[in-house]
Structure 1
Amino acid sequence: MYRELITFEIAGQIFALDIMAIREIRAWTPVTPMPRVPHFVAGVVNLRGTVLPVIDLAARLGWQPTEATPRHAILVCQVNGQSQGLIVDSVSDIVGLNTETLQPAPTAGHDEVVPFLEGLVAIEEQMVMVLDLNALSASGDMAFAA
């Protein structure tokens, strides 16, 4: 089966998401912080009159929180009927993927990223981590952000 992915960078690593889940790519706009939300929820932004929760993807993956600048972007995704934004360092490209080339995520170690991976794929001699949006949003903590 063939899929299209959008690739992007976070903390020097290349990730990808299924393009069908992406609704738009927004230039960085400052977020309004919210009280009593999980540490990886950067805040909310106004998306054409709708409150959009914005997730710091680096923090969600267990890395240092993003110090966002105008060079960052927000990927607006649709997950389980709800929109959410994901802060990424930069958006790279749209690539085609034959799903048979997708390798399972490694099970060794206790890397905080592995539970959020659908798999790994080599694209143009780079290893790309394909994220599973449902796993990223599965946490009960996400209910507070919506």
Structure 2
Amino acid sequence: METEARVSLIKISDQYFAIEIKYIREVLPLPQVTKVPNVEKQFLGVFNLRGKIVPLIDISPILKLQNMTLEPDHFVIYCLVNGKYAGILAEKVLEMRDLETEQLHVPGAEVNPDLLPYISAIYEETQYGTIYVLDMVSIFESAELNRYRFE
């Protein structure tokens, strides 16, 4: 079997997603977040990561899911995508796994049309059900995130 991708499984707004490991630099517990005035709802603020100021983003509004709130037990996935970095808020970080090519299928009519631009594949899993593989390039290049510079 040929491995398609190594991913980290996460939970956002009660849905399960996978992010390819190649985009993840670090996973950390929710740090102290400083709010930033006059920004869109997906920007929750900024945090300090070893002297670097990093924006914290809730991607649920981009995915047309219910907005998340900052909870002490949440996690941040620090991602680097095409030179842009940000912390992605997640309810849970579940596990890492290898996805086999035959497990993945192209999203179609069964997926909410609002999600389609941000999903590269989906797969079914017995423990978590449907898991959507996030297209991190599309998310980081989305109009919602590119209103602000975060490089």
What TM-score comes out, normalization by structure 1 length? 0.89
Equivalences for 1:22-33 in 2 at 5 Å? 22-33=24-35
1:128 equivalent to 2:131? Answer yes
Kept in 2, the 8 Å contact 1:37–1:141? The answer is no
Alignment equivalent of 1:138, drawn from 126, 129, 141: 141
Moved more, 118-127 or 9-18: 118-127
Q: Structure 1 regions of 5+ residues with no counterpart?
A: none
Alignment equivalent of 1:104, drawn from 73, 94, 106: 106
Alignment equivalent of 2:117, drawn from 91, 95, 115: 115
Identity %: 27
Offset of residue 66 of structure 1: 1.1
Kept in 2, the 8 Å contact 1:28–1:72? The answer is yes
Moved more, 54-63 or 74-83: 54-63
Offset of residue 26 of structure 1: 0.8
Equivalences for 1:18-97 in 2 at 5 Å? 18-97=20-99
Moved more, 136-145 or 9-18: 136-145
Offset of residue 136 of structure 1: 0.7
Kept in 1, the 8 Å contact 2:6–2:99? The answer is yes
The one-letter amino acid paired with 2:17 is F
Aligned residue number for residue 12 of structure 2:
10
Offset of residue 59 of structure 1: 2.5
CA RMSD of aligned residues (A): 1.9
Size of the aligned set, in residue pairs, is 146
Q: For residues 59-89 of structure 1, what are the alpha-carbon distances to aligned partners after superposition, in whole Å with 9 as ceiling and x for unaligned?
A: 2222222112111000001111121110000
Q: For residues 25-84 of structure 1, what are the alpha-carbon distances to aligned partners after superposition, in whole Å with 9 as ceiling and x for unaligned?
A: 010123222233332111111111111111112222222221121110000011111211
The one-letter amino acid paired with 2:93 is V
What TM-score comes out, normalization by structure 2 length? 0.86
